Copies of this chain bind each other. A is one copy, B any other.
Amino acid sequence: MKYAIGVDIGGTGTKLGVVDEKGNVLKHHEFKTTDYKDFPTYVDGLVEAITMLTSSTEGECQGVGIGAPNGNYYSGRIEFAPNLPFGDGAPIVDALKEKLGYNIVCLSNDANAAAIGEKIYGGGRNLNHFILITLGTGLGSGIICDGKIVLGEDGNAGELGHVCAVPNGRICGCGKRGCLEAYASATGIKRTFMEMVAKYNGDSIIANTPWDKLDARVVEDAAKQGDKAAIETYNVTGAILGRCLADFVHFSRPSAIFLFGGPVKSGEMILEPTRIAMEKNLMPVFKGKIRVLASELPLGDAAILGASAMVWDAIAK
């Protein structure tokens, strides 16, 4: 059996998985990123974890794929990531190639890895043109054109969370205003709900939930119980997201757009208003041709799957 190792590096934890060609995660392992104080000791820890997995797995390891914040596909380096103790430009691909001896070691940011995961294992298997949008604390994206991830001049393309959704709109964590992720994300849903509480003067079954107890799931539950403010929150979110998806269609004309992440678990509650707004904002030539679908990647393993998918993608090239 052939398999790949997928590694998901986060500020708190590092998750690893042994993944076969069909996207089955055969083994899991994780350790604390915070146990390591710098890049060299972290690499030793990661190599040890990978070796532990490969030495106990029958078959042939094809390589390692890594998803990390600010992971650069071109350079193989993790560029300055505020939540990782690695400094700037940590050369993780070269370090792993040297210590493990594999030819294929790939790095990308989380959202691009997820898009490659969708292409190799998920709903994008037979598609040459699609976009994956991840809705979490923020909004990430990976764009597939002609079967390849769009990386741009220096590997940072696909930052669709920071297109301008509302001119002079909400303050975004990036320092700009009106960014799409300030509206279409778990955080954006929470912010929109607060506006709805104001709009309806507290007429909501969860109006008394304080800011720090509120999240997209609380709003989703209220919406399922028929709460007007919560339902409108999803409609407003979908209206803004869908309008921006239409812009993305005008750019690259994908055949599908996949949505991934916690807020997508609400299913049609977010998908339907998104589709309606997208269709309304498409030029006639595009109408009715682009599907908006929930990602087929399982929420829990998506990061490991996406990372491992880069290995199969590299082999296929």
- On A, residues with C-beta under 8 Å from B are 128-129, 143, 145-146, 148, 150-160, 162-164, 166-167, 174-176, 243-244, 246-248, 250-255, 281, 283-286, 289
Contact = CB atoms under 8 A, between A and B. Distances in A.
Nearest to A131: B251
Given A146-B148, A156-B285, 17 more contacts: A129-B153, A150-B251, A153-B254, A154-B253, A154-B289, A156-B253, A157-B251, A158-B251, A159-B250, A160-B250, A163-B247, A164-B243, A164-B247, A167-B167, A175-B283, A247-B247, A251-B252
Contacts of A251: 143, 150, 157-158, 160, 163, 248, 251-252
Contacts of A154: 253, 289
B175 A284 contact: yes
Contact of A151 (B152, B253, B285, B289): B253
A12 to B, nearest CB: 23
B253 A162 contact: no
Contacts of A253: 151-159
A235 to B, nearest CB: 15
Given A164-B247, A167-B166, A145 B150 contact: yes
Contact of A252 (B157, B162, B243): B157
B162 A250 contact: yes
B153 A255 contact: yes
30 contacts: A129-B153, A143-B251, A145-B145, A145-B150, A150-B252, A152-B252, A152-B253, A152-B254, A153-B253, A154-B289, A156-B286, A157-B250, A157-B252, A157-B253, A158-B250, A159-B285, A160-B250, A162-B283, A163-B246, A163-B247, A163-B251, A164-B244, A174-B283, A174-B284, A175-B284, A176-B281, A176-B283, A247-B247, A251-B251, A251-B252
Nearest to A151: B253
Contacts of A252: 143, 150, 152, 157, 251
A209 to B, nearest CB: 30
Contacts of A153: 128-129, 253-255, 289
Contacts of A289: 153-154
Contacts of A129: 152-153
Contacts of A247: 163-164, 247
A244 to B, nearest CB: 8
A148 B146 CA distance: 10
A158 B249 CA distance: 9
A148 B126 CA distance: 21
A150 B164 CA distance: 22
Nearest to A256: B153
Contacts of A176: 281, 283
Contacts of A148: 146
A244 B165 CA distance: 10
B167 A243 contact: yes
A130 to B, nearest CB: 9
Contacts of A174: 283-284
